[in-house]
Amino acid sequence: MSPSSIARRPLGPGGPLVPPLALGSWNTWDRMDPGEAVEMIRAAVAGGAGFFDVAYYNMGPHAENSRTDILFGQALRASGVARDAVVLCGKLWLWDWPRASFRAQLEESLDRAGLDRFDAVVVGDYLDAPDPQRLVDEVGELMSEGFFDVWGINNWTIGTTTAVIAEAERAGVAGPTFAQLKYSIVRRSMAEGAPYRELFDAGVLALQASDSFEGGVLLGRTPARKIGADVGGIRALIADAAPEVATIAASFDATPAQLAIAYCLAYGPTANLLFGASRLEQLESNLAAARLADEHGAAIRDAVAHLWLDRHVAADGAW
């Protein structure tokens, strides 16, 4: 699939046009040798998926002293790919904020990856809701200095999200333009539920889908590595549903991963979807899902409509 065949989408109102497929960094670049990482970057850019999550995982529950961001930066430089050919999205964590200021986090993250700026950042998960005014002030200051162009939020409750949007409007600074939420065939409550859907439909935010394979469980795998939180305790149900997902995928002449990606991309608010790939064949297979979504998106969503397994989970993100 050529880059031109995958249409870019706006990363929220006024946001840049970005590839609908994005490569995550959690437990990915540290599972490849340097040559494989270079080829992964080149293939992603050539295939129209040159959007890369670049996070330093060393805070809160992700205090892993990970080197995945360093390895990505090294591979990007070795790839010879031009900086303006990729979209790079960093992450700011709220676990130790404001003690660990956004400026300190950002400077450390950029230094580790050997970068001078990001194109976007995501302000990540929290235990206690952040102070909207302080958050907006810090993010706005960094944006005004050119460290990044747009920003988004990650799995916030709707109350926190709307409070920060309102504060940004009051202060006359740029608010978040996208929400990174867990979203998949089986985990839909936040992304499709009324609270966030109202913001999507109003053109306030776009959706960045994450954890769409449930760490591989949705694909019939039993992951040995650390994966995302099991909101609502539905992972056993997801494992049980995996064979049916595979059967439905086969009816579209697709893999379960392609089906999962196409489901999310066929949802109107979706700007892009993050997935992890540590092998080139995974990337190449997943790129085909963009065409699958274009050609059969509505039929796929109908075929898996009954597999919404987290209906009981609060759609406002309060879990």
Q: What is the mean pLDDT of each run of 10 residues along the chain (319 residues)?
A: 71 94 89 95 95 87 82 97 97 94 97 97 91 97 97 97 98 97 98 98 97 94 80 95 98 98 98 93 94 97 98 91
Q: How far does Cα 128 stand from its chain's mean position?
A: 22
Q: Does the residue 78 lie in any domain?
A: yes
Q: Does the residue 19 lie in any domain?
A: yes
For 60: left if phi > 0, alpha if psi spans -120 to 50, otherwise beta; the answer is left
The pLDDT of residue 171 is 96
* Collapsed DSSP state (helix, strand, coil) of residue 120: strand
Q: Does the residue 213 lie in any domain?
A: yes
The residue ranges of DSSP E strands in 5-137, in sequence order, are: 9-10, 17-18, 21-23, 51-54, 58-59, 62-63, 87-92, 120-123
Q: Does the residue 88 lie in any domain?
A: yes
Work out the number of other CB atoms within 10 angstroms of the CB of residue 132.
19
Q: Which of 256, 267, 153 is nearest to 201 (CA)?
A: 267
Backbone angles phi, psi at 2, to 5 degrees: -85, 155
Q: Does the residue 44 lie in any domain?
A: yes
Exposed e or buried b per residue across 177-207, where buried means at least 16 C-beta atoms within 10 angstroms of its C-beta: bbbbbbbbbbbbbbbbbebbbebbeeebbbb
**Per the structure, how many domains does the chain have?**
1
The pLDDT of residue 2 is 47
- Structure tokens, 270: 């979706």
Q: Does the residue 302 lie in any domain?
A: yes
Q: Does the residue 313 lie in any domain?
A: no
Can you give the CATH number for the domain in which 106 is found? 3.20.20.100
The pLDDT of residue 80 is 97
Q: Which of 293, 264, 268 is nearest to 186 (CA)?
A: 264
The pLDDT of residue 319 is 74
Q: Does the residue 315 lie in any domain?
A: no
The pLDDT of residue 208 is 98
The pLDDT of residue 140 is 97
The pLDDT of residue 297 is 98
**What is the rounded CA–CA span in Å between residue 34 and residue 36?**
5
Q: Domain of 51?
A: 9-307
